[in-house]
């Protein structure tokens, strides 16, 4: 029988749990709730909230009358928050405090001459929000190779005044490689390590567990950036599959594996992990 090991860091992180509880508490109060985009990147939670009447809007202007709009854990663009306040829309800001911290760093820039270099995914809502708080030019890179190409193509110059930070779910190892390169090139640079501590701990455990396992099962939403990072870390060390739930598990012989490791993204409910563990006989 296979040994089944579940990572200790699996399950909701602080920011995600706070956002989900915010919506649940509003519903308990009898309020009508809508969220600015998906509250978290997990289809099971989204579907459950939809059953309870929670609507998803893509813009604050779409907020139905008598509804409270909740800003998700990823945050939102500065213009959306300003629109909400200007139009006296009832809202609750469930932006993760770690993301809020990055907004303040970006907003503190008062010089158009400065350039923001941000590590992460340019299409992710967290990154889109971060960039909206910076008044100068900003560029996003996803790896040391991307950053090097920006420098070689003269997108950014060694003479530029640089502010460098990252998405909260960025790879710690990749971040170190990128900051090492930046410190060699730029003479006027301020580096802010904005990777969430929980993200770092989860990535470290993924690295360790995958090195001692024959198979790794990463559980999380396909849109989840931090889940994708866990998958990328694990697949370097062991056979790895990424699933959203027990129903998505591939039809293979799991008994052939001596040790199966399970780790979940920050927006994955722990009960989904427990169902997979039970299915495997753990």
What are the pLDDT digits (tens) for 135-170?
A: 999 999 999 999 999 999 999 999 999 999 999 999
pLDDT in tens, 72-102: 999 999 999 999 999 999 999 999 999 999 9
Domains of the chain, each with CATH number or no CATH: 3-11+197-279 (3.40.1010.20), 14-95 (3.40.50.11270), 99-191 (3.40.1010.20)
Crossing angle of helices 172-185 and 144-152, in 10° steps, is 20
pLDDT in tens, 217-227: 999 988 888 89
Q: Is the model more confident about 34 or about 9? A: 34
What is the average pLDDT score of the chain? 94
Average pLDDT over residues 249-256: 93
Q: Is 79 one of the catalytic residues?
A: no
- As a three-state string, the secondary structure of the chain is CCEEEECCCCCCCHHHHHHHHHHHHHHHCCCEEEEECCCCCCHHHHHHHHHCCCEEECCHHHCCCCEEEEECCCCCCHHHHHHHHHCCCCEEECCCHHHHHHHHHHHCCCCCCEEEEEECCCCCHHHHHHHHCCCCEEEEECCHHHHHHHHHCCCCCCCCEEEEEECCCCCHHHHHHHHHHHHHHCCCEEECCCCCHHHHHHHHHHHHHHHCCCEEEEECCCCCHHHHHHHHHHHCCCEEEEECCHHHCCCCCHHHCCEEEEEECCCCCHHHHHHHHHHCCC
Average pLDDT over residues 106-114: 85
Alpha carbon distance, N-terminus to C-terminus of the chain: 9
Catalytic residue among 38, 126, 205, 244: 126
pLDDT in tens, 48-71: 999 999 999 999 999 999 999 999
pLDDT in tens, 34-47: 999 999 888 889 99
Q: Predicted confidence band at 281 (pLDDT cuts at 50, 70, 90)?
A: confident
Size of the chain in residues: 282
pLDDT of res. 162? 96
């Amino acid at each position: 029988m296979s040994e089944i090991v579940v990572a200790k860091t699996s399950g909701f992180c602080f920011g995600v749990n706070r956002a989900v509880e915010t919506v649940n508490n509003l519903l308990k109060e009898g309020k009508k709730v809508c969220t600015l985009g998906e509250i978290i990147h997990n289809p099971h939670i989204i579907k459950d909230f939809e059953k309870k009447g929670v609507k998803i809007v893509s813009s604050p202007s779409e907020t139905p009358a008598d509804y409270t709009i909740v800003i998700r854990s990823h945050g939102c663009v500065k213009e959306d928050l300003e629109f909400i306040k200007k139009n006296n829309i009832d809202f609750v800001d469930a932006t993760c405090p770690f993301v809020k911290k990055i907004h303040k760093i970006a907003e503190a820039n008062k010089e158009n001459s400065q350039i923001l270099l941000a590590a992460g995914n340019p299409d992710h809502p967290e990154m889109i929000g971060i960039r909206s708080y910076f008044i100068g030019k900003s560029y996003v890179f996803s790896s040391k190779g991307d950053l090097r190409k920006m420098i070689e193509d003269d997108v950014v110059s060694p003479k530029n005044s640089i502010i460098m930070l990252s998405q909260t779910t960025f790879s710690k190892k990749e971040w170190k490689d990128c900051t090492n390169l930046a410190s060699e090139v730029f003479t006027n640079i301020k580096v802010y390590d904005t990777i969430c501590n929980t993200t770092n701990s989860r990535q470290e455990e993924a690295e360790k567990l995958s090195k001692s396992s024959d198979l790794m099962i990463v559980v999380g939403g396909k849109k989840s950036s931090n889940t994708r990072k866990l998958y990328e870390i694990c697949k370097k060390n062991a056979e790895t599959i990424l699933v959203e739930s027990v129903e998505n598990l591939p039809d293979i012989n799991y008994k052939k594996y001596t040790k199966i490791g399970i780790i979940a993204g920050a927006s994955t409910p722990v009960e989904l992990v427990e169902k997979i563990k039970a299915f495997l006989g753990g």
